[in-house]
Amino acid sequence: MTTGTLIAMVDGSAYSESVCHHAAWIAKRTGAKVKLYHVIGRREGVEQGDLSGSIRLGARTKLLEELSALDAQRAKLAQAQGRAILEDAKALIEGDGVAEVETRLRQGDIVETITAKEDTADMLVVGKRGEAADFAKLHLGSNLERIVRSSRKPVFVANRAFREIGKVMIAFDGGMSSMKAVDYVARDPLFAGLKVLLVTVGSETETLKKAMRDAQATLSAGGHTVDARVVTGQPEKVLGDLTEAEGIDLLVMGAYGHSRVRSMIIGSTTSEMIRTCRVPIVLMR
């Protein structure tokens, strides 16, 4: 059962604007309402060190009071910053033509927040990297792996820059999650009218041929023009090269599989794909 809602996570990083534009694109195509979340870490804005240990007793009480007041001030500033981030994000999405946008400010762990709220949404939208994006270009966002591991919903991983999406590539290995990805693309209005490239990296066995035929039939029945290919090579290189050569705007992959195109984020192949891929990626469980 669908909820007609998507959850978008924003943190004020360089990727947050892209998250907003992609969330608006999804919402306009599906008619979904957008819920924007900003999560303040439990220790954010709080001094972690104990500065009072070697202070004489006469000064300790006053200093502890000052430190406590400073912690309270930092917490208020973190909340004010969070509200400002949410207001800016809401304005961006509304500016893209989406009327129903709600904001939520939470404190705690981002994965715990998603776990508690994801049943109210059909999809999660997150940035590939977070606040330290400019300093960690060779690494994935610190929370992205945890989100993908724990979420039961499709996760839309936004790249740094938004562009209109017209062509989708599905990385297919015949496994359960990749079959779910095919069915999702075939049925969901998000993908209506988009061209589809269905790609398997590996040996062209009879079993794989049948799985590809079934997948292509499912997509065609959903109204998609499908180009199906079986290619050989290193999956991360082949898929990356095809993304560039074919003008792919969105990559859809199963979060878990049974070949080398497998185990999104968790496996080395797919971790490399997300690290280097310049288009957004939808991960299916």
Whole-angstrom distance, CA of residue 10 vs CA of residue 18: 10
pLDDT (0 to 100) of residue 237: 84
Q: Where are the domains of the chain?
A: 5-43+79-149, 163-284
Average pLDDT over residues 180-195: 94
Average pLDDT over residues 180-187: 94
Q: Name the pTM for this structure.
A: 0.84
**Which pair of tokens denotes residue 243?**
């993304």
Whole-angstrom distance, CA of residue 18 vs CA of residue 14: 8
pLDDT digits (tens, 9 = 90+) for 190-224: 999 999 999 998 888 888 889 999 999 999 999 99
Whole-angstrom distance, CA of residue 86 vs CA of residue 35: 10
pLDDT band at 173 (very low <50, low <70, confident <90, very high): confident
pLDDT digits (tens, 9 = 90+) for 51-92: 445 555 556 777 788 888 888 888 889 999 999 999 999 999
- Classify residue 261 by its DSSP letter: S
Residues 6 or more apart whose CB falls under 8 angstroms from that of 41 comprise 107, 108, 109, 110
How do strand 123-127 and strand 101-107 relate by DSSP bridges? unpaired
Whole-angstrom distance, CA of residue 231 vs CA of residue 259: 14
Whole-angstrom distance, CA of residue 84 vs CA of residue 41: 16
H or E element at residue 33: strand 33-40
pLDDT (0 to 100) of residue 224: 92
- Token match 């999406």: residue? 165
pLDDT (0 to 100) of residue 178: 86
Write down the mean pLDDT value for the chain.
Answer: 84
Q: Which fold has domain 5-43+79-149?
A: Rossmann fold (3.40.50)
Per cent of the chain over pLDDT 70 is 82
Same fold for the domain at 5-43+79-149 and the one at 163-284?
yes
pLDDT digits (tens, 9 = 90+) for 225-275: 899 999 988 888 888 889 999 999 999 988 655 444 444 344 455 566 677
Q: Specify whether domain 163-284 bears CATH 3.40.50.720.
A: no
